[in-house]
Structure 1
Amino acid sequence: MAYKDFRAFLQRLRDEGQLLHIKQQVRLEPDLGSAGRAVTRLGANAPALFFDNIYGYKQGKAIAMNIIGSWANHALMLNMPKHTPIKEQFFEFVRRWEQFPVPVKRMDNAPFYEHEVSKNINLFEMFPFFRLNDYDGGFYIDKACIISKDLDDPDSFGKQNVGIYRAQVKGKNHLGIQPVPMHDIGIHLRKAEERNENLPIALAIGCEPVITTIAGSPLLYDQSEYEMAGAIQGEAYPIVRGKRTGLDLPWGAEIVIEGEVIARKREPEGPFGEFTGSYSGGRNMPIIEVHAVYHRENPILEDLYLGTPWTEIDYMLALNTCVPLYQQLKDAFPEIIAVNAMYTHGLLAIISTRTRYGGFAKAVGLRAMTTPHGLGYCKIVIVVDEDVDPFDLNQVMWALSTRFAPSKDLVLIPNASILPLDPSAEPAGITHKMVLDATIPVDPDIRGEFAQPLTPPAATDQWEKILRDLLQKNTERCNLPHENLPPL
């Protein structure tokens, strides 16, 4: 079943022991950023955090963090058991992705229309904003689903975009935004400014997790995020029309901000501690003029800590980056087995493939760099054989150490495009990229001493199951009260 809204997912997390309610009083700074960083150290089953006792704020103000910040929470987002392995989540994500498109469900009203503010807007008074990292240039809305449309084709539902972009709260009723040029919102803004028109925009904060995850996915330009969210959750996604922008909004959001990006106007924005683990510095960026704010009674402000990986954003953008790359590569090369682009939003990608002929793996790596996402990411692509699990870094390192010959298997592409946030780019937006071919050479590339590879003994799979079952029983035994322990 789909989660109808953000609160329904919070309840599921609570029921599964994956929501930690912090009842002690906290200060916005440094407590919230510190807690957001600290929870990422708790591993693959880290919980979400819920704060509702905030110093200086009346009861009713609440902040939620780390909502999809573990593989356990990610599995629950997919309505799978919380201990589902990553690889199983990947192939389930692929299976659902292939159900696209699922038509949306249009609603007449939404819970966030309960309260409307369109005069004397003061975002600072309405919501408990805070800085995540010490040298952030201000307060940021960093986990909103941001909706915009193509003004050259305004009636195209598919070309309407739902994306995740950082928005700096710069004044009572205006924001700064960073529209990466290769992302859909960058295309929308370019087209609007060519027409010398402002770009209508909406920010939906505190959405149920599927649309937030899909908003961070590199879909094709004319693919609807709402129709993909329907495919992932298994039923039509509910949307409602924006009162002022006419944009389609996630029905279950806690907070919605409507406004417009002002054409050809720029202001300094940043610095901000980014998902790369570095501050991005300050640049001139577009601004948003806020026209209206809508919110539920006692709205929950959702925030996302990001910094040196892994943090919530790495879980949130992991498989939804892998799967579209997998699909787009498989369209060109049916030999593709799996894609692991979980590292820093795909700046590094690992691809396993069957090899058709000598040099084939290098072509696969180059194709990855020309996918819609790869153009701005995929700085390093490692290609491995089908017998190597790209999600098992021990196997990947083995392949690199035994099957990669630096003199023959390194492909370097100078001065390629990259997103400006990559701290190694020089200038911002330009970098060298490389493909590392860690596959066994095949005809006509005959070289090396690759004898018949070792394969596991015949009963290995059966014994793995036996040992796992015994380990599980042993764990259950150890969890019994001492007096109930059976004799050894």
Structure 2
Amino acid sequence: MSEAGVKDIQVPSGKTGTTKAYHDLRSFLATLEAEGQLVRVKNEVDPEEIGAAGRASANLKNGPAVFFEKVKGYKNPVVTNVHGSWANHALMMGMDKDTPVKEQFLELSRRWDLYPVAPKRVPTAPVNENTVTENINIFDIISLYRINTYDSGCFLSKACIVSADPEDPTSYGKTNLGTYRMQVKGKDKLGIQALPFHDIGLQLSKAEALNQPVPIAICLGCDPITTFMASTPIRYDQSEYDYVGALNNGVPMEITKSATLGLEIPAGCEICIEGYIEPRLRECEGPFGEFPGSYSGARLQAVVRITAISHRNNPVFENLYLGIPWSEIDYLMALNTSVPLYKMLKDTFPEVQAVNAMYTHGIGVIVSTKVRFGGFGKAVAMRLLTTPHGMAYNKIIIVVDEFVDPFNLEQVMWAMTTRVDPDKDVSVIKNCPGMPLDPSSNPPGMHNKLIIDATTPKAPEIVSRETELLTPPAGTEKWEEIISQLVKAARK
């Protein structure tokens, strides 16, 4: 171990050097600070200013994490924008902070195939240094704040929530680790958004059929890959913990038992709130500034009763800002949406080259694929709409040829402007499942889907004229290197 919570490992597949696997938030923050990707605010700040700082940092190119050492009215520090730049995202995986987005996508895709890597169970962890079971007051422990101006209160926007399947509570694979918004409704009471297509929504519906509560552990301030996986769409019976080990390049994550309910939780978390989702009870929740860049309305949501809070000494509260893209939530969910959709498509259509689902949690998706025959691009898009995530979230799908980089919007626009005949290449599929937080869904939870086939026509589709692509002149790569070196020399 090079420092507490960090492990250096040899990179597999013949690559040289080492990468880092983080077992807690603090060790990752240390790396961010060493790389110039974390700033400290040492003066006392009003909690209402923290949301503005999260927005401001995301507005900057490669914006840093912002660590607030003193928050007025509270005892403990706050950090935001931890995942809020491509530089931070690369460092999370132990890569150079200047690694291009497509390279990060390809590396995540490679590590995805290392699944499963079973976690290491540890008997105790720093999160259990302090446990409160009586006179619980969440405000005594967590430095809570309003994220956006018209939020109905303080929200936990970056929690990793552990819950078990009510019909199979001992199943390791069916234990869910997910991120769902939670409104603080009192000193020992929370609201939770558990939508029907969420794993926790399925678990809640099973429990309510039995009129039973759902035990949960709400973990705050986890290591960066665990938080990343908690918001990643995978199959219901797949373990997020096994994926954390895979995305850590084969290093198992560490888990431990929660203090009172015995749920298996990330050992490196700063705070663990234990409690129950009450069955068949709904209370008003929201409005809340959400990831599409608008406020969700007030609606009836499930209720959580807190029964215990455990935490490290001087716990760090990590939360994220949500707003008009791009903000931290977009960096967090960009590639962890793209890679699973790519893997699901690739299983059916091996011709698929890459998937860019970085836009508004996959409401917009760009797929790059080889085309075997006429209509192939549209078939790929329709398969995307049958995936668990795509069914609800994907609304606008653009399909491009394999020589188009879906992460390069200039190339995508070139394909759109030179390959699309609006009369035959644009399709609308009406009355489909949708994301209720998308303000264009009407009614909420229903979408019309748009498919744009921007691939080159192939028979038996009518090919009205042949096109020959331009290729770079000989020597282009050599001159890219020469000019890059000249630029570096000029900037010294």
- Shorter-chain TM-score category? over 0.9
- Matches of 1:134 and 1:127, distance apart in 2: 20
Do residues 392 (structure 1) and 411 (structure 2) align?
A: no
SS at match of 1:317: helix
- Deviation, structure 1 residue 455: 1.5
Amino acid at match of 2:411: Q
Do residues 54 (structure 1) and 77 (structure 2) align?
A: no
Q: Once the two structures are superposed, what CA deviation does each residue of 1:238-297 show, in whole Å capped at 9, x if it has no partner?
A: 001123333210000000000010001000000000010000011000000101000011
Tell me the number of residue pairs that the alignment of Structure 1 and Structure 2 aligns.
Answer: 472
Q: 1:39 aligns with which of 44, 57, 60?
A: 57
Q: Once the two structures are superposed, what CA deviation does each residue of 1:116-161 show, in whole Å capped at 9, x if it has no partner?
A: 0001111123222110111101110110101111111222211111
Q: Which residue is equivalent to 1:318?
A: 334
CA contact (8 A) 2:159 2:180 kept: yes
- Deviation, structure 1 residue 196: 1.3
Q: 1:353 aligns with which of 358, 364, 369?
A: 369
- Deviation, structure 1 residue 181: 1.3
Q: Once the two structures are superposed, what CA deviation does each residue of 1:289-313 show, in whole Å capped at 9, x if it has no partner?
A: 1010000111001010111000001
- Deviation, structure 1 residue 69: 0.3
Q: Which residue is equivalent to 2:426?
A: 410
Amino acid at match of 1:11: A
- RMSD over aligned Cα atoms: 1.0
- Deviation, structure 1 residue 469: 2.2
Q: 2:211 aligns with which of 196, 199, 220?
A: 196
Q: Once the two structures are superposed, what CA deviation does each residue of 1:57-112 show, in whole Å capped at 9, x if it has no partner?
A: 34xx1000000100000000000011111111110000101100001100101101
Q: 1:23 aligns with which of 36, 42, 45?
A: 42
Q: Which residue is equivalent to 2:16?
A: none
Do residues 471 (structure 1) and 487 (structure 2) align?
A: yes
TM-score relative to the length of structure 1: 0.95
Identical-pair percentage = 53
Do residues 6 (structure 1) and 25 (structure 2) align?
A: yes
What pairs up with 1:151-170 in 2 under 5 angstroms?
151-170=166-185
- Matches of 1:214 and 1:325, distance apart in 2: 14
What pairs up with 1:11-410 in 2 under 5 angstroms?
11-29=30-48, 31-43=49-61, 45-58=62-75, 61-234=76-249, 235-410=251-426
SS at match of 1:150: coil
CA contact (8 A) 2:432 2:448 kept: yes
Gaps of 5+ in 1: 477-488
- Matches of 1:335 and 1:282, distance apart in 2: 44
Q: Which residue is equivalent to 1:481?
A: none
Amino acid at match of 1:270: G
CA contact (8 A) 1:70 1:315 kept: yes
Amino acid at match of 1:65: T
- Matches of 1:37 and 1:448, distance apart in 2: 49
- Matches of 2:163 and 2:122, distance apart in 1: 19
CA contact (8 A) 2:259 2:310 kept: no
Q: 1:442 aligns with which of 431, 441, 458?
A: 458
Amino acid at match of 2:74: Y
CA contact (8 A) 1:403 1:438 kept: yes
- Deviation, structure 1 residue 55: 2.1
Q: Once the two structures are superposed, what CA deviation does each residue of 1:370-390 show, in whole Å capped at 9, x if it has no partner?
A: 111101111011000011000
TM-score relative to the length of structure 2: 0.94
- Matches of 2:452 and 2:339, distance apart in 1: 21
- Deviation, structure 1 residue 33: 1.1
- Matches of 2:268 and 2:51, distance apart in 1: 26
Q: Which residue is equivalent to 2:9?
A: none
SS at match of 2:110: helix
- Deviation, structure 1 residue 25: 2.1
- Matches of 1:449 and 1:135, distance apart in 2: 55
- Deviation, structure 1 residue 356: 0.8
- Deviation, structure 1 residue 448: 3.5
SS at match of 1:446: coil
What pairs up with 1:422-433 in 2 under 5 angstroms?
422-433=438-449
- Deviation, structure 1 residue 3: 1.1
- Matches of 1:244 and 1:405, distance apart in 2: 61
- Matches of 1:198 and 1:3, distance apart in 2: 33
Amino acid at match of 1:251: A
Q: Once the two structures are superposed, what CA deviation does each residue of 1:14-43 show, in whole Å capped at 9, x if it has no partner?
A: 1111110011221011x1111111111111
- Matches of 2:278 and 2:179, distance apart in 1: 19
- Matches of 1:461 and 1:341, distance apart in 2: 29
Q: Which residue is equivalent to 1:480?
A: none
- Matches of 1:435 and 1:245, distance apart in 2: 47
- Matches of 1:194 and 1:470, distance apart in 2: 68
SS at match of 1:461: helix
Amino acid at match of 1:277: G
Q: Once the two structures are superposed, what CA deviation does each residue of 1:412-458 show, in whole Å capped at 9, x if it has no partner?
A: 11011112111111111001011100001101012343421212112
Q: Which residue is equivalent to 1:419?
A: 435
